[in-house]
Amino acid sequence: MQTIERQKIDDLLNNNMVDEALNYINDSLNLCPNSASAQTLTLRGKILLIKKLYDEAIINLNQAIELNPFIEESFYLRSKWFIKKKMWKEAHEDCERALKLNPNYALAYAGLGILMVKQSKNHDGLIFFKQAIELDNNCCLAYFNLGNLYFQIDNYDPALRNLNKAIQIDEKFANAYEKRGFN
């Protein structure tokens, strides 16, 4: 998949045009069915996760990893599927594989943070969210989840600061607005 196509898909997703992004990928694949690259399958897996079409998402992500086991995003996205299915060990392994491929991949650290919180390991979650932010000061996912974690442990000032930062990074991030309204 060409860089221009990736940018187009990212633009569609940033504008909450998820169906259009999926149609764009599917149309491209229909034109050349044997040309599915690992990157294309990863992007389609990402979109299917957003649409909560989990069974289809995992098929695409597994195919992407089989085609090219060197794309950290594929492992990170598959870890999200494993988290959804409460497959903690597999989720942890995929985040670690993503970090092996790219030690500066902030989303994988945020994924580990989410994984820790889901297992009631809040202190570890806090560490991973902060690591993600240290690597990428615009990691909206890490700020949101850090704010949410602070909210859960009744530490409201940092909760509000982190939720506000998530909103500052992505004004369309409705979850941060919603959570902030509870503070």
Number of Cβ within a 10 Å radius of residue 38: 21
Q: pLDDT value at position 183? A: 45
* Secondary structure element (H or E) that encloses residue 168, with its range: helix 156-169
Q: pLDDT value at position 122? A: 97
Q: Which of 111, 109, 117, 177 is nearest to 163 (CA)?
A: 177
In total, the chain counts a number of residues equal to 183
**Taking the CA of residue 2 as centre, how many other CA atoms within 13 Å lie in the half-sphere pointing to its CB?**
4
Q: pLDDT value at position 142? A: 98
C-beta of residue 183 within 8 angstroms of C-beta of residue 151: yes
Q: For the residues 124-141, what does the mean pLDDT come to?
A: 98
Q: Two tokens at 98?
A: 């993503």
Rounded to two decimals, what is the model's pTM? 0.88
Q: What confidence tier does 102 reach under pLDDT thresholds 50, 70, 90? A: very high
Token pair 């694949």: residue: 29
Q: pLDDT value at position 174? A: 55
Residue-wise pLDDT tens digits, 137-173: 999 999 999 999 999 999 999 999 999 999 999 887 6
Token pair 């149309």: residue: 27
Residue-wise pLDDT tens digits, 23-82: 999 888 877 766 678 999 999 999 999 999 999 999 999 999 999 999 999 999 999 999
Q: pLDDT value at position 179? A: 55
The alpha-helical segments, DSSP class H, found in 51-121 are: 54-67, 72-84, 88-101, 106-118
Q: Which of 74, 83, 78, 72 is nearest to 105 (CA)?
A: 72
How many angstroms from the chain centroid is the CA of residue 71?
14
Non-local CB neighbours of 120 within 8 Å, separated by 6+ positions: none
Give whole-number Cα distances, 147 to 46, 56, 97, 183, in Å.
Answer: 24, 31, 26, 10
Give whole-number Cα distances, 65 to 42, 104, 134, 165, in Å.
Answer: 8, 20, 28, 33
Q: Domains for the chain: give ranges and CATH numbers.
A: 1-87 (1.25.40.10), 104-183 (1.25.40.10)
- As a whole number of angstroms, the distance between CA 40 and CA 169 comes to 26
Residue-wise pLDDT tens digits, 107-121: 999 999 999 999 999
Q: What confidence tier does 180 reach under pLDDT thresholds 50, 70, 90? A: low
